[in-house]
Chains A and B, each alone.
Chain A
Amino acid sequence: MYRVSKLALRSPSLLKTQLFSTATKSSATQLFHPTEEHVALRQMLRSFVESEVDPQALVHNRTETFNVELFRKLGSLGLLGITVEPEYGGSGMDATAACIAHEELSAADPAFCLSYLAHSMLFVNNLARNGSHEQKLKYLPKACTGELICGMGMSEPSVGTDVLGMSTTAKLTPDGKHYLINGAKMWITNGTIDGKSTGDAFLVYAKTDPTQRGGGLTSFLVDKGMPGFTLGQKIEDKCGMRASMTAELVFSDVKVPIENVVGEVGKASLCMMRNLEIERVTLAAMALGIARRSIEVMTRYSQERKAFGKPIAEYGQIQKAIAESYAEYMAGRSYVYNFAASLELSTYGNGLDADGVKLFCAPMAKRVADRAIQCLGGYGYVGEYQVERLWRDAKLLEIGGGTNEAHHKNMVRDLRKSGKIE
């Protein structure tokens, strides 16, 4: 796939933000893109985002539509299967690469990036780590090209943080060949693409044995078109992440073959644990993208806008806003990439910092975007100047993928166990 020549794109508009040089080879930048491949990935993404993602962000936010064509371009770039082994159609890269992809895409369109995350991390990565060879062969190659657009269903209308309180059940049929799934899942990103029918494939969590402690939580592959599996509703009028489709999915005696059980029956909490860390670190990386763009916009604007004869960048309150934003962003960025460097995709047990990076970065992104709106004054309040959209999009990160409160709960549970910090 091709891009418009950079020279032809040159336009001196206020909206076009200047890129900070990544020329310095300090140890800090080594952390953010440790190998040449990571550097090349980030450069390619910056270029792609500038010419393909930035121009479409505002209109998709306004119309609440998902850009399927752009999503499939991510497929041709090898981004949809970024953590999947090449034998299944993926690019075989690490958690750091996943963070780079999420940070870069989010700088321009966090909503689009959220759909990317739900597909590539919540479905694709989960299946790559937990699925059988046959299951992976069946779904991953098409998910990696974007032919299938997928998601994951865990939360329900009445259940979020209290995951084990879910009421979706899966009952084994008398002949032992199928499970019947009943229930509803809520807040499912990519739950619908066209607004009228479900997305293509989902990893759905359901209880196979409500009498058991934990309920026998099991993970199932559910396909579009399975009788009984329907779109409850497309969720409209969201505050932010509007270019990402969110839906309620309904399961009414959905007959799922036992071959579609991912991992072992009753052992899905293992699947969940393995995936939660990459999910949270990439959500935190999304927050970084939002923060970086907000800083770029307010830094540029404050040099150009004048008040009382001088650029507003010379006033203390603006300086405070920009400087504090930068320092908080770099602190978050260092936390995220340091953690990502230690994250082995096939293991788990680093929950504390997975919660920690998101707990720090999500509110940070919201704060930084808020300061950016304030710096831009009236213009900050208007869609064309990006920052109000980034602010609305940032808010979701304090809720989705784990609320701030869920992180508090998890982190204290983990800290109580470990006691000493190295």
Chain B
Amino acid sequence: MKVLVPIKRVIDYAVKVRVLPDKSGVDLNNVKMSLNPFCEIAIEEAVRLKEKKIATELVAVSIGPKAAQDSIRTALAMGVDKGIHIETNLRTDQELQPLAVAKLLKEVAKREDAKLVVLGKQSIDSDNGQVGQMLASLLDWPQVTFASKVTFADDKQSLTVDRETDKGSEVVQVTVPAVVTADLRLNEPRYASLPNIMKAKKKPIETLAADSLIDAKDLQPRNTVLKVEEPAARKAGEIVDSVDSLINSLKNKAKVI
């Protein structure tokens, strides 16, 4: 079974993000970029499926400028077999939006004849958390999102997935083909060992132009970002001297009760 793993190169989680002076977006100049943490978890899950001989081939796909290949190389070094780079110069944190991404991934999934798509639940730059769901809908495949555990049945056709919801954990069973999005507790990603980093050198990365897969107008953003601002500075807290005082503050100042 071929598994497709869409991944994204985003601003590193540890970077102190700054807004551009014209407020058109976040400053990406000279900023450290890394593989999206949830994508890393998705890659790890796919590699484990291959080790269990459930997946036969793993394909990583990433959309973005040439540098997106860095993330694909990391995926190859973790155990993915080949990579596809869909090239575009649209800003991947705000111009290239989830529906366009989902449409591109649908084409890749069909082209690669993938039976399972495993991807991160959201990217830490745009935090939309929509691609997996939209992709499943476009493909007309079942979806299980926020997966914290994936177990395949012996027939390798059906899988039981624990998913994390706001109310608690829920267990869902689906059959392939399917889309699964990875949540934080699904696994702990491995480090790429040096021998695997060396092996990755020989694995292929294919580059495709984004507008060769879907119509150029479908790539364009449907929402326009008007302004990006830093969040308001946190105000200092207030120390109260009694429960009554606390209730009063909560009611009249914070207005939450």
Q: Determine if A2 and B194 form an interchain contact, defined as CB atoms under 8 angstroms apart.
A: no
B145 at the A/B interface (Cβ < 8 Å)? Answer: no
Stretch from A5-13, A60-68, A253-261 that touches the partner: A5-13
Q: A5-B184, A23-B33 are in contact. Are A37 and B191 (CB under 8 A)?
A: no
Q: Determine if A76 and B193 form an interchain contact, defined as CB atoms under 8 angstroms apart.
A: yes
Contact partners of B191 in chain A: CB under 8 A: 1-3, 44, 47-48, 77
Residue from the list A23, A39, A82 in contact with B30, Cβ < 8 A: A23
A5→B41 CA distance, assembly (Å):
8
Residue from the list B37, B74, B189, B190 in contact with A40, Cβ < 8 A: B74
A142→B77 CA distance, assembly (Å):
24
Q: Determine if A93 and B194 form an interchain contact, defined as CB atoms under 8 angstroms apart.
A: yes
B16 at the A/B interface (Cβ < 8 Å)? Answer: yes
- Specify the main secondary structure of chain A where it touches its partner: loop
Q: Determine if B200 and A40 form an interchain contact, defined as CB atoms under 8 angstroms apart.
A: yes
A128→B47 CA distance, assembly (Å):
32
Contact partners of A7 in chain B: CB under 8 A: 13, 37, 124, 184
Q: Determine if A18 and B16 form an interchain contact, defined as CB atoms under 8 angstroms apart.
A: yes
Q: Determine if B30 and A40 form an interchain contact, defined as CB atoms under 8 angstroms apart.
A: no
Q: Determine if A23 and B201 form an interchain contact, defined as CB atoms under 8 angstroms apart.
A: no
- Which residue on chain B has the smallest CB distance to residue A50? B14
Q: Determine if B32 and A22 form an interchain contact, defined as CB atoms under 8 angstroms apart.
A: yes
Q: A22-B32, A23-B31, A23-B32 are in contact. Are A44 and B190 (CB under 8 A)?
A: no
Contact partners of B74 in chain A: CB under 8 A: 40, 43
Contact partners of B200 in chain A: CB under 8 A: 37, 40
A327 at the A/B interface (Cβ < 8 Å)? Answer: no
A421 at the A/B interface (Cβ < 8 Å)? Answer: no
- Which residue on chain A has the smallest CB distance to residue B13? A6
Q: Determine if B190 and A36 form an interchain contact, defined as CB atoms under 8 angstroms apart.
A: no
Most buried by B among A40, A41, A92: A40
Q: Determine if A3 and B31 form an interchain contact, defined as CB atoms under 8 angstroms apart.
A: no
Considering only residues 9-25 of chain A, those with a C-beta below 8 Å from chain B are: 10, 16, 18-24
Contact partners of A22 in chain B: CB under 8 A: 32
- Taking the closest CB of chain B, its distance from the CB of A351, in whole angstroms, is 28
A110 at the A/B interface (Cβ < 8 Å)? Answer: no
Q: Determine if B190 and A86 form an interchain contact, defined as CB atoms under 8 angstroms apart.
A: no
Q: Determine if A40 and B184 form an interchain contact, defined as CB atoms under 8 angstroms apart.
A: no
A40→B187 CA distance, assembly (Å):
22
Q: A36-B201, A37-B201, A40-B73 are in contact. Are A5 and B194 (CB under 8 A)?
A: no
Q: Determine if B73 and A21 form an interchain contact, defined as CB atoms under 8 angstroms apart.
A: no
Contact partners of A23 in chain B: CB under 8 A: 30-33
- Taking the closest CB of chain B, its distance from the CB of A286, in whole angstroms, is 19
A97→B13 CA distance, assembly (Å):
26
- Taking the closest CB of chain B, its distance from the CB of A46, in whole angstroms, is 10
| Closest CB pairs A-B (n = 3) | A78-B194, A2-B188, A91-B194
**Chain A interface residues toward B at CB < 8 A:** 1-8, 10, 16, 18-24, 36-37, 39-41, 43-44, 47-48, 76-79, 82, 86, 91-93, 97
5 additional contacts (CB under 8 A) given A2-B188, A3-B190: A3-B189, A3-B191, A5-B37, A7-B124, A78-B195
Complex A-B: 5 CB contacts under 8 Å: A7-B13, A7-B124, A23-B30, A37-B198, A48-B191
